[in-house]
Structure 1
Amino acid sequence: MCGIVGVVSHSPVNQLIYDALLLLQHRGQDAAGIATNHGNTFSMYKANGLVRDVFRTRNMRSLPGNAGIGQVRYPTAGSSSEEEAQPFYVNAPFGIILAHNGNLTNWEQLKIELFKNDRRHINTASDSEVLLNVLAHEIQLATTGYSLDPSALFKAVSALHRRVRGSYAVVSQIAGYGLLAFRDPFGIRPLCIGFNEGEAGPEYIVASESVALEGLGFRFLRDVMPGEAIFIDMDGNLYNQQCADNPVLNPCAFEFVYLARPDSVIDGASVYHSRLKMGEYLAEKIHREISSGAIDVVMPIPDSSRPAAMELAHKLNLNYREGFIKNRYIGRTFIMPGQALRKKSVRQKLNAIGSEFKDKSVLLVDDSIVRGTTSREIVQMARESGAKRVIFASAAPPVQFPNVYGIDMPTRDELIAHGRSQEEVCREITADALVYQDLDALKRAISDVNPALRNFEASCFDGNYITGDISRDYLDRLEYARNHPKQQIEEGTKTQLNLNLARVD
């Protein structure tokens, strides 16, 4: 999960991109980067940290130009090394910079192909650098002479779709030509376009979420379709083409549950209203499973679960209270690398208001339960604050399977619901009762908001990997790599050495 943005304007874009990244900060807190294009020259600055910490006045002054891209990074492939902060750059053909949200499932195979067949060197363990080099190679094959036109770019994206597997929403800048953006044929990760009629002509922005458009005064135009490519030249002319053979929209259900901001609209569905519907359907299930009068008060775990908890309380005619206060200067624990760091930060992030818990039977509502670390700590905090009974409800179904499309859920052992019954999970988080949302209800909550959405990427709930290339062996290798990172690096070095020797032979 990352946040990406690209802008083509008639005035300097460094501040626009910076402000957009602030609006997308929830999508990644590991690193931030901006690259701008002036003439045929790129300027770029990127580093680990939050947007407000990475960029200083001197950095912003070094980013001239009327077009550019930016990213906030949350690492799901490679490492959290500053070298893997985005955007990435290649100087041929033309000069291309790229930022990527998602995760390629065949990047290791592509890396070998790029070296052996395409004669391209990959310098990091990032799948985004692989994606950039595939794009660069296909653009080189699609162009003749020294000029570049939209048809050649669309031909290159079509070839990329045939080679690449996984999830990818992309913004890229081609030096002196314009902004190229595209989305994978399943539309797993979100991407949308905004428009502004400036004094000097039309201006465009492409970003992960609509909140980044509207917060900067751009008018939401539409979502980028799955498999579609968008090219905006430096004069503000927009070209588009469907570049995939069989595109099918399957947006990630977890975007609506947790990842996206509630004030965003993704593929025509309001995230906020989808979460209200989740609360409505969860209330129906609680009404069936929990006896009347067993709950005194409903409380959300701030912030993502608040809409669902409010609607749930309304439907059950129960009191709604804010029992936990969030320290907004602590990062989101779900996207913090390392179990120890996540556990330590829970009590730094949340503080209980004791008077709201004392001698009450409390229903706590969270957006989801992934590893169970946060849930267990919160239940204990409620008990320490005087709650006589703690019921826990999840607005999402049990997370039982790894997500390979850009969310940090790569190992089965880390998922509390994997291999455990609902009763066992309840005991693990030390709650008195536990209620999960049904998967059909979750999908229906989103479809109720936009009836055109019928298919979803929901692999972390049902184990159905829609790209069709994920096997048990793949998941085993992914899990091994995560649990043995040092050995994986050494094996990767040996593979690169073998490739070098093969090239010499």
Structure 2
Amino acid sequence: MSDAIKHECGIALIRLRKPLTYYQEKYGSALYGLNKLYLMMEKQVNRGQDGAGIATIKLDIEPGNRYISRHRSTSSRAVNEIFEYVLGKFAEVHRKDPELMNDVQWLKENVSFLGEVLMGHLRYGTHGKNSIENCHPFLRQNNWMTRNLVVAGNFNMTNVDELLLQLYELGQHPKERADTVTVLEKIGHFLDDENQKLFDHFKKKGHSNIAISHLIADHLDVANILTRSAKTWDGGYTIAGMMGHGDAFVMRDPNGIRPAFKYIDDEVIVVASERPAIQTAFNVPMEDIDEVSPGHALIIKKDGSYTETMFREPAKRASCSFERIYFSRGSDTDIYRERKQLGKLVIPDILESVNNDIKNTVFSFIPNTAEVAFYGMVEGIHDHIRDFQKDQLLKNKNISSAELDELFSLKPRVEKIAIKDAKLRTFITQDSDRNDLVNHVYDVTYGVIKPGIDNLVVVDDSIVRGTTLKQSIIRILDRLGPKKIIIVSSAPQIRYPDCYGIDMSRMGEFVAFQAAVSLLKKSGREYIIHEVYDKCREQAHLPKEEVKNYVKEIYAPFTYDEISQEVARIVTPTGINAEVEVIYQTLENLHAACPDHTGDWYFSGDYPTPGGNKVVSRAFMNFVEGRNQRAYA
């Protein structure tokens, strides 16, 4: 992606179902779980470079000994830093007495982090909130083992104000206005409530307090806790949690917006945000991995048994299509195939743009995430050439040898044009100097374009703001002297803010929105902006269920191509010699390529939860009012 946007968070959860001695004997190390957690987090580090954290729980620890361990980091190499810290504890043991590394019980009792339940989290920071306090996992502590709660997730709630009010009505006083706090405290409240009910129940039966603690651990109804907690949540979420005594869970929103994959055998129960992380870490085929169902929670009891239980009625599935286009690693079998298909589906528009002149067209991509879509585009060009050659042969039975040579010489001209250099530090304060540095973020391959003759087609996976295109890429490509530069987005036009976890929240930053506003002003229809603003204001205090997305009216007067043409004008810097065109994937083609992941609200404005319409309405009002802030907490 030429315009960097923040990744969705990633989770990893491992429940070891055998005693630690089992892994020592079979795999040669009691650190089996920690090693696997490290590998799973490294394989998902694309999901958040702003920080990371892990937490572990030891089962059946004697009172007075630590059984929950947590470590977090906001380092640029957070995952490595965390595991250097954790595994350094065992290295110290090995230095002092190598034999102790074979004494699993001693290690469990004396070295932190050696537990049977392990959780990892990778995060991105939104809007400057990137301190250690913002790093997951979050911990809610209590002297009662069954009241301790550890939570980490990939989520965003649209109705934080409503959830905070509910906590206040329960008698709580949250210390922050953030969805992480509301989620932790909401689950924590009902965890406390469940504990108290069980305590009262067993106390009436005459059990001692010590016995009751164990009975609560055995009988804790995690499904009921989660059902009561999530009753009014509005958002996209995959949330993992652990209780101090050893129960664990992973819950997924009713629309399946955020991803969650699970693998279960007699040794481990594993959950991750991305399937390949599990495949690589545990060397298992993808057929053995499935998803946590939307609206369901995978609940793992202290004894290692598990169930997948519904906590909210599943709604219309709206899995995030941006996962497929950009966020998730392309090493997943299905995502790789879908991204290639996205590249193929733009071929008709590309051929029309270059007047079918393949001979004088060079195909390339903007590194690095558009590479798979580029492979699909090249395959599509090959298919077109083959069909063209076949058609010519069928039409001309008496074709000469020279004509055959000419016909079969036709092939796509594929080159790596744009090369992304290491990031340049913009330490120079003058804007003109800083912009000059930005112009050199990419370099180009010289000598492969015939100046004034060749078209240059460059595929990007998506165009969000268009800033890098204007400040850097188009200027650099123009140096090569192409007749025409065609920027192809394998994603549709991003028109609306996300509110379920992606850092795309300010409408004024979207170049497609800028294009629509510009066209309204040019065509004398600026009044539509004010009409939409008034409609948004009128519904500002309505319940989220009654709010409509009136922002769609900003785009309604114009065709898809008209928006694309205006985007091309906006991102084309002054002094460019080549003609510049921007081609976007259509929404219909996106659904054809990714039929099982229909969450397209950032393209269509069709939000899967009521809170989405409230967010887009607020985002538009922020734009009109000049407020540079996101429309949700």
TM-score (norm 2): 0.68
Secondary structure of 1:355's partner?
A: coil
* 1:26 equivalenced with 2:94 (yes/no): no
Q: Which residue of 1 aligns with 2:271?
A: 206
Aligned partner of 1:323 in structure 2 is: 417
C-alpha distance 330-188 of structure 1, shift in aligned 2 (>3 A)? farther
Name 1:89's counterpart in structure 2.
139
Q: Secondary structure at the match of 1:8?
A: strand
Match of 1:334 in 2: none
- Alpha-carbon distance, 1:8 to partner: 0.8
> Against the structure 1 CA distance between its residues 256 and 150, is the aligned structure 2 distance closer, same or farther, given a 3 Å change threshold?
farther
Task: Describe the shift of the 1:258–1:361 C-alpha distance in structure 2 as closer, same or farther (beyond 3 A).
Answer: same
Q: Distance in 1 between matches of 2:241 and 2:565?
A: 48
Task: Determine helix, strand or coil for the equivalent of 1:418.
Answer: helix
Partner residue of 1:475? 619
348-357 or 291-300, which deviates more: 348-357
Q: Aligned partner of 1:127: which letter?
A: D
Q: What residue in structure 1 maps to residue 379 of structure 2?
A: 314
Partners of 2:620 and 2:590 in 1: CA distance: 28
- What does residue 372 of structure 1 align with? 466
Tell me how far apart the structure 2 counterparts of residues 137 and 343 of structure 1 sit (CA, whole Å): 51
The counterpart of 1:16, out of the listed 26, 32, 36, is 36
Aligned length: 464
1:88 partner letter: F
Aligned AA (2:493): P
| Greater RCO, 1 or 2 (C-alpha within 8 Å, sep 6+) | 2
In the aligned structure 2, how far is the partner of 1:56 from the partner of 1:272? 30
**One-letter amino acid of the counterpart of residue 48, structure 2:** G
Supply the distance in 2 between the matched residues of 1:323 and 1:33 (Cα, whole angstroms): 39
Name which of 64, 68, 71 aligns with 1:45. 71
1:87, 1:98 within 8 Å by CA — same for their partners in 2?
yes
Match of 1:401 among 474, 489, 496: 496
* 2:12 maps to 1:5: yes
Letter in 2 for 1:245: E
Does residue 222 (structure 1) correspond to residue 290 (structure 2)? The answer is yes
Q: How does 1:433-444 map to 2 (within 5 A)?
A: 433-444=581-592
Residue in structure 2 matched with residue 303 of structure 1 by the alignment: 368
| Displacement after TM superposition at 1:138 (Å) | 2.4
Q: Determine the structure 1 residue equivalent to 2:95.
A: none
Deviation per residue, 1:255-296 (Å, 9 max, x gap)? 11111111126xxxx111011111111113323444111652
Within a 5 Å distance, the mapping from 1:332-481 to structure 2 comes to 350-357=442-449, 359=451, 360-376=454-470, 377-420=472-515, 421-430=563-572, 432-447=580-595, 453=596, 456-469=598-611, 470-471=613-614, 472-476=616-620
Change (3 A) 1:236 1:56: closer
Q: CA deviation at 1:122?
A: 3.2
Relative distance call for 1:78 and 1:131 in structure 2 (3 A) is farther
CA distance in 1 between partners of 2:627 and 2:218 (Å):
42
Whole-angstrom CA distance in 2 between matches of 1:99 and 1:166: 15
Corresponding residue for residue 135 of structure 1: 187
Per-residue CA distance 1:314-366 (angstroms, 9 max, x = gap): 22232222223345x759xxxxxxx99x9899667643222344634210000
Contact 1:103 1:167 in 2 (8 A): yes
SS at match of 1:55: helix
Q: 2:455, 2:219 → 1: CA distance?
A: 62
Deviates more, 1:272-281 or 1:86-95: 86-95
Greater strand share, structure number: 1
Whose radius of gyration is greater, 1 or 2? 2
Residue among 162, 165, 178 paired with 1:112: 165
Question: Which digits, 9 at most, give the CA deviation of each residue in 1:427-484, with x for residues without a partner?
Answer: 122261111110011011012xxxxx2x622111011111022225433577689725
Tell me which moved more, 394-403 or 462-471: 462-471
Change (3 A) 1:165 1:150: farther
CA contact (8 A) 1:8 1:178 kept: no
Q: Which residue of 1 aligns with 2:342?
A: 278
Distance 1:180 1:150, change over 3 A: farther
Question: Tell me, what secondary structure is at the counterpart of 2:289?
Answer: strand
The match for 1:66 among 113, 116, 138 is 116
Residues 306 and 153 of structure 1: CA distance in aligned 2, closer, same or farther (over 3 Å): same
Where is the helix percentage greater, Structure 1 or Structure 2? 2
| Greater alpha carbon shift after TM alignment, 362-371 vs 472-481 | 472-481
Q: Structure 1: 5+ residue runs without aligned partners? A: 332-338, 448-452, 493-505
Q: 1:78 to 1:326 in 2, by over 3 A?
A: closer
Rounded to whole Å, the distance in 2 between the matches of 1:367 and 1:150 is 49
One-letter code aligned to 1:108: D
Residues 168-205 of structure 1, C-alpha deviation per residue, up to 9 Å, x if partnerless?
A: 101111112232101000100100102354xxxx2111
CA offsets 1:83-119 (integer angstroms, 9 cap, x no match): 10111011256211111102110123212321x2233
Provide the residue aligned with 2:205 in structure 1. none
Report % sequence identity: 25
Where 1:170 maps in the other structure, the secondary structure is: strand
The answer to whether the Cα contact below 8 Å between 2:488 and 2:583 also exists between their aligned partners in 1 is: yes
